Amino acid sequence: MEEKELPYVLTDTIGGPHGVYLEHMEFMKKYFNLVAMKEFPENQKYLGEKIKAIYIWWQKPAVNRELLQSLPNLKIIANFGAGVDHLDLKLISSFGVKVTNTPLAVSNATADLGMALMLASSRRLVEGCQITVSPDTEQFAADWLGEDVTGATLGIIGMGRIGYKVAKRAKAFDMKILYHNRNRRKEEEEQAVGACFCEKMEDLLQQSDFVMLVVNLTPQTHKLIGKRELELMKPTATLINICRGPVIDQDALVEALQNKVIKAAALDVTYPEPLPRDHPLLKLKNIIITPHIGTATKQARWLMMKSIVENIFSALNGLPIPNEVFP
């Protein structure tokens, strides 16, 4: 019996620093014929009919009307990661195409990074490393101090999967946990982590020693934290962002850090990424910035890839789709 042809899946690039990992290819080839974007224009007539899915890797390839029109048999766009703010969901839906993401695969690694940023900032780990390795260091200062995380108050803005996993970790540090969310968690979920709901975000900002942002980027959350919100925070507080850069008004953050309106910030995300080399945030000492590495572990990336494969396989075989995103 003739073997059934594997479905064709379009992605941006394969291999290299920005492409689909080569170590993932062996697994993916069991299910799909993966087509790199550079191959598509040369064989558009043939591949356009064949391609049934798009594998979005690091927000590429860009999905626009022109691409959608060139893929008449497209069934699904499978996004690598949880955030889909780079996709026009209404446009995609108008072509009858489904969208998926990988929320379960990213939550542990991202929550871990949130805790790492909080600890690194509070205990001044980056500064400490620089002092330790500096050729100018002759002795360590006894008055070089950080702040305790244990017993401090953590305010989580966005208590979805990742936010809740942050709360679980913070509970182990005996932190007082406040949270603000569109929808209040069930009472048993709150009790399990010792979290208190703040209906008004302002109340959380005023009480927290650490404020962690874990929201989706939407029109409602764009510049959610601006000058007014920063001024509500304690002057001893630290702002941590592990979701999307545009959730913070960066100009207001620069001003707040320069003028000691808040003590510090720790960001895994900015806008743009990377920041221009002359950006004022890069010149400040009371900030830590990491290169958007919330999911950057071998284990998380492998789980994300497998989740994408499952999403595509389900969509193309008429099965329930595990992680569908609706407009």
- Strands 76-79 and 98-100, bridge-based pairing: parallel
- Among 229, 292, 301, 310, the active-site one is 292
Least Cα distance to 202 among 225, 232, 158, 222 occurs for 232
Distance separating alpha carbons of residues 40 and 92, to the nearest angstrom: 19
CB 160 within 8 A of CB 221: no
- Strands 8-11 and 195-197, bridge-based pairing: unpaired
Q: Look up 222 and say whether it is catalytic.
A: no
Q: Please report, to the nearest 10 degrees, the dihedral formed by the alpha carbons of residues 307, 312, 316, 322 taken in order.
A: 40
- Among 124, 185, 244, 301, the active-site one is 244
Q: Look up 180 and say whether it is catalytic.
A: no
Structure tokens at 245: 């850069």
Q: Look up 244 and say whether it is catalytic.
A: yes
Structure tokens at 103: 């929320």
What's the one-letter identity of residue 218? Answer: T
CA atoms within 13 A on the CB side of 105: 27
The residues carrying an active-site annotation are 244, 273, 292
